[in-house]
Amino acid sequence: MFNSSDVPYQTIMLTHDISVTIKRIDLIHPKISGNKFFKLKYNFFEAQRLGYQKLLSFGGAYSNHIFALAHAAKTYGFQSIGIIRGDELADRALNPILQQAQHLGMQLHFVTRTEYRKRHEAEYLKQLQHQFPNSYIIPEGGTNTLAVQGCQEILNDTDLQNFDVICCAVGTGGTISGLINASSAQQKILGFSALKGNFLDHDIRKWTKKNNWSIIDSYCCGGYAKTTTELLNFIKDFKQDYSIPLEPIYTGKMMMGISDLIQQNYFPPNTRILVIHSGGLQGK
């Protein structure tokens, strides 16, 4: 279960004295791609060990997590349930992500935004366990202790020895927490937040005791899923120049941020940067 393909690396030169290498974990699996592969891995092992037959999780209408969970559940013999934010969506035609999830057997349960905000509350989770019995509940975005454990496997010995800075996009904080835990003492982990604000700092500190990291929200374009013409043009030009696809919610904002910081001389000369391409292209 969760056998992976070899992960390719691509090195690009954004300037003559800064090396940028992109680790393409978006190519690790054709459907359960990127960080979702690592986040779900040990959650699936645990669900299997405990004898659960169903997996339940949460997401918005364009959730990469819901998409990956539906594929993984179908592949490994679980039933799946998606608690989807926005009860108004129940009466509309499904978008391609939700349509595919449903096609794979996921039961979609649309809830109001007020109800969705209860997704972290113990009493609400108990209610869902009663409504959907024998369900192993995975948090929104897949982030929990087991997800962080899985994300520690993103970095191998070569990554730990050959790079000074490791960059990743940040949503719920699970991926960067795993990277921080796995990193070597001399490395700096730099996260580019898809959301505005510093509230993620508190969440990440729940998962790691290290301090060799920082979060930048200057390139979130105003908030989650918000875009600008500059961002969309950057993604288009990056694909044309390097044949590497990006999406506007996570990886596009991260790469635009890295490029801008290099131009501002944020990184010392000869810095070796490793960029984690976390996938999410189904939400493009």
Arithmetic mean of pLDDT over the chain: 94
Among the listed residues 194, 145, 189, 142, the one whose alpha carbon sits nearest the alpha carbon of residue 171: 194
Verify that 137 and 219 share a domain, yes or no.
Answer: no
Percent of the chain past pLDDT 90, that is, above it, reads 88
In sequence order, the β-bridge partners of residue 83 are: 58, 109
Looking from the CA of 235 toward its CB, the CA atoms found within 13 Å total 17
pLDDT for 125: 98
- Residue 1 resides in a domain: no
Tally the domains of the chain: 2
Torsion over CA: 80, 85, 86, 89 (sign): negative
Verify that 120 and 157 share a domain, yes or no.
Answer: no
Verify that 58 and 171 share a domain, yes or no.
Answer: no
- Residue 4 resides in a domain: no
In sequence order, the β-bridge partners of residue 273 are: 20, 165
- Residues involved in catalysis: 63
The range of the structural domain enclosing residue 45 comes to: 36-142
In sequence order, the β-bridge partners of residue 169 are: 192
What does each C-alpha distance from 123 to 12, 127, 128, 151 come to in angstroms?
A: 49, 6, 9, 29
- Residue 233 resides in a domain: yes
Q: What is the pLDDT of residues 186-237, one digit of tens each?
A: 999 999 999 888 888 999 999 999 999 999 999 999 988 899 999 999 999 9
Verify that 215 and 201 share a domain, yes or no.
Answer: yes
- 136 pLDDT band (50/70/90 cuts)? very high
Verify that 71 and 168 share a domain, yes or no.
Answer: no
pLDDT for 7: 94
pLDDT for 160: 97
pLDDT for 52: 97
What does each C-alpha distance from 213 to 5, 153, 190 come to in angstroms?
A: 29, 18, 6
Verify that 252 and 195 share a domain, yes or no.
Answer: yes
CATH, residue 167: 3.40.50.1100
Q: What is the pLDDT of residues 61-116, one digit of tens each?
A: 989 899 999 999 999 999 999 999 999 999 999 999 999 999 999 999 999 999 99
| pTM for this predicted structure | 0.94
Verify that 60 and 177 share a domain, yes or no.
Answer: no
